[in-house]
Structure 1
Amino acid sequence: MFYTLKSKLILIFSLLLVVPLLTMTVIFTQHSKNNVELITKSSSAQTLEQYAGYLDMLGGQVEDAAFQVLSNQLIQRWIGVRSGTRIEPSQTEQYQLNAEVKEYLSQVTLNLTNIASISLSDRNGFVIGNDSVYHHVKYNNKDWYSYVLEHGPSWVGTHLDPYQPHSLQNIPVNSLIIPLVELDSMTVQGIIKINVESSLIQQPLSKIEMEQWRTVQLVNKQGLIMAGNESDSLRSADPFGAQPAGQALLNVLNSPQWSHILQSEQTKDAFKLKNDDGTSSYWFYRKLDALNWIIIGEITEKELFRQIDQMSRTMLAIGLGLLLLTLAAAYWISASMTRPLSKLSQMMRRLEMGDFQAAEKVSVARRGETGYLLHAFERMAGRLNQLIHDEFTLKLRKQDAEYKALLMQVNPHFLYNTLETIGALAAQQKTEQLLDVTESLGQMLRHSLKQDSDTILLSDELQQIEYYTFIMETRFEDSLFFSIEKDPSLEKATIMKFMLQPLIENAVKYSKEKLRYAHIRISMQRTSSDFMELSISDNGEGMSEELIKELITVAYSEDPAKVLGSPGSKIGLRNVLVRCRLYYGEAFSVNIKSQLQQGTTISLTLPVNEEDSSYVQSNAGR
């Protein structure tokens, strides 16, 4: 295909357009991706830095409030009363002290707008907040409670706190928990819990104006989500109010990069990580020292380069359109030059396959040099077709004459042997047997004189063989035995006339010359849907390897004229093989197996035709 002139022109035009376009697209895409990656890293770092500054400010403000409350003398006096280190006041004085503490906590809360509420809890489960006092609070059952008492201040993730002002009880909060220390004895007597509405943390997080962000999360060093635009911590059973990380974040937390983040002295950085689905993501992080949290965000590579990929696809689509236009133009230009040559090539290809009529019918324009060349070739093809047709007809007639001549040679050979048998019976005055043999011979002669067809049903041919075997068994009596194995599926198959009888005559002749008892076996079988095999076996003297090779040569390459002129003693078997070759062509094959003094088997493979002889006649000229 690619060696034609048209294909070469189309290929050249296509390469001149496609190669520069693809090169430009690849270079542009790669350069743009590099620039976008640098810009994204810079802008993402700035975005996280701004948010981190806001959280550090918020965390610092909450810590200042916590230490302000802890160092207040009123709070220290309340701690001493609750811990029993001071003289226990009267119940009225306790109520007065609690009221003063509530008023102080309310003042601190009002002065610091980012703080939702402040509460103090002692070890006995007594909690005092901005506006309420609670007994038997179960803070001490929380894991974060014991953690803070043992390790110091800690932030708790988004959760609901029922021990704060009623209006805030259904609002998610984040809390800073610090130990409630009695400064005189430096003993921990409980905790201070400062609540900040989670919206102050989550809303700025959700307003990060970058569409390519897939997720931004606040996590603690244990890998639990403390707040984020995808978290639902209200459903969390974690004592710290934290939510387990999603799958994408889990991949980061289980990767070596997470250990590097925790151990690194750098407060911010970025890295690339491959996801389970085969895609890649860019991860950015920023550590928050005030809250002991880490801001970590993901931008998928697909979203990051989405616009560039869309532009690349657009350029490729434009390139494809230009390529189609180029192919159309190249086809139009090349067709005007190569159409006449293509028609000439088409005519020559059909002529090579032997389709002369189709080659003659190819319409051509008789303009220019190529048109004249095509017209001359068309006339040459017509003349060549006529010459071949005449030669083929002459060859068929010659083969038919040779076949008829061979067929006529069979009949005298058979008649000679049969008349010899009749003469022997007459000499022995076996009148009844003579009549039977004569009637069998008459049936065979009546059949052989029919010239209406060269083929016969296999069943009719076997009937003639039975007439023949009756004559032979009558002549040789018990010293000759025939067996015929029929295949019912071949009942309607057709074969050539007088094909089996000469082979059986040869088997009888070469078996009786050396043996006192001869056994001739005739069998047939269908080897496939299109072919059958006829076999004649004897127990005679057998054949030499040289004779077998000679007969095979006769079957496939011998000139029929040589068989016509050969001596009578060599006509029978050669005659049948040459007739089969002339009649069946390449559909015929022969196999001869023989061992000296043990016998011979001749197997003929023929096409199965159950209707007429059209198949074999169509192959007669091969």
Structure 2
Amino acid sequence: MRHWNDRMLKTKMFISFSVVSLFIVGITCCIFYYKNTNDSKAQTFSLSNIISKQFSEMIDLYMQNVEELSLAISIDPSIQSILFDFYKESDPIKKEVVGYKLNPILFNFSYPKPYVQSISIYSLDSHLYQYSKLVDPRPRMLLTLDQLQQFKSTLNSNAFVIMPVDEDDQHREKAVSFVRKITKIPTQTIIGFVNIHINVNAFKMVLANTNANELEHSMHVLIVNDEGRIIYENGSSGSTGGEQRFEFDRTASKGELRWKQTDFLYTAVKSGYTGWHTVILIPKDVLLLKQKRIQDIVLLVGVLTMLLIAAVSYVLSHHITLPLNKLMRNMSRVELGDFSHRMEYAGRNELGKLSRMYNHMLDSISRLIHEAYESKLAEKNAQLSALHAQTNPHFLYNTLNIMKSISRLRGIEEVADISESLAGLFQYSMKNIHQPVTLQEEIDHIRNYFTIQQHRFGNRIQLQCDIPEHLLQASVLKLTVQPLVENAFNHGLRKVKSGGCITLHAAESKGVLTLTLHDNGEGIPEKTMAELQRAFLMSNALNPYKGEAHGIGLLNIRQRIQLFYGKEYGLHITSSSGKGTSVSLTLPYRTDLKESHKAREATL
């Protein structure tokens, strides 16, 4: 799931559309395939059932014509007269002579009927008279007395008997025997039998007249009797008809079976007239071929549908993600601080609304940034003024106490010196407090301050300035060094009786000016030093330190430098108890005051 969430929206839309469409198209194609397959199978059964019924009905009509022919022969007066004469004669030779009179009569009956192969007349004593259209006039079937007696009993209840002809000669055409009794008129006494041999190949004419043209090249038509003997099979030579047996479920009208190593669908219809089963066999390969065509069509339609859906989903996802990608690029520019780019999508849909909301958001952000910038400038100026105000009143209070003490103890000349130095201090402190000055100006201000402090401490404290000549024109922030000297007097050297020394050192390296002020006073206690370091870490210009008031002056100087130059500059302090304190200021090294003003504006 995590990998899926990490994918691009365009990819997820394409995959989702494709999977859903593939599922729907697959289910639809499967349903279509199986439905059409079942429909094709049902249609095949229905068509073959119609063909089998038509073929069976036409065979019945065909056999009814044979029955009419047999009836005409059995009641023909000439044939009955000849049979009477036959039974009157006792001489076998005369019997044969009488029998030959049947030939022209049988010829007249059989000639107009192309399906009649031969007509035989049997006497009750198994004597045979036959007319045949075959080149070889040998009798095809010679009935014995037992068979005649069986026929006699059977024909008492049935008008005729139909049975296949067993042939020993494999080259003869297959035939069906239609046997009917000949009765004496009007007594209805049996005087003989007529046996009509029907050529089964004549059934092909019946088959050709059916409506099975679309299946005639693949279907098999069988006529099977109740014993399973094949009376007729289309497409087979006449030599195989009656010798084969065909077994199937006679209680079912349709189904599937395997015959001659081939799988078939079959339908069967039993004739109520002849008792024969007309069976239509359709090879399953034909149905499978249809199924294969349906499958190919389904696959083709499925593939085309998938390609179409994939193309539509790709275009749709691209259309949706294109403005989103543009929005992401614009947001990347905003992240870098560029608020000038706007979305140009003008639609009224969700993307259009999102674009307009994005543009309104950028306008609001730009307005708020401008307002916050101006507020920040005003706040910083107020903070600088407040920091400066925290420094000057304290110094002014101490100076006035000094002037009061000296004026009582000594005289007016010293007060004049102090007043002169104090005037220089006020003039320097009150003029352009926010503008940078040169290091030389800051040192002159320190010397005025030191002159006043010497009247307080005498020669107990000395000031040493170790500053290279070329660094005196460096730009520094006003009143950042003097408060450090004041701290050294008030905290580090206040208890020193003699030998106190304050050293000011300046150095430049890689564009950074470092001012170091060191005193050899008593140092800062470890606890106070720890609190001061914690105050440096926790406080800034917008969040003043609210702990104990240790090193407020140092915090103010540090905050002023960072507000003016940036957070990479500031104040660093090191102290060791009994060895003194060192305070280092780091500032950018600049000699042009105008450049300092521009740098300050860029920082703000």
Q: Structure 2-normalised TM-score?
A: 0.44
Structure with higher Rg: it is: 2
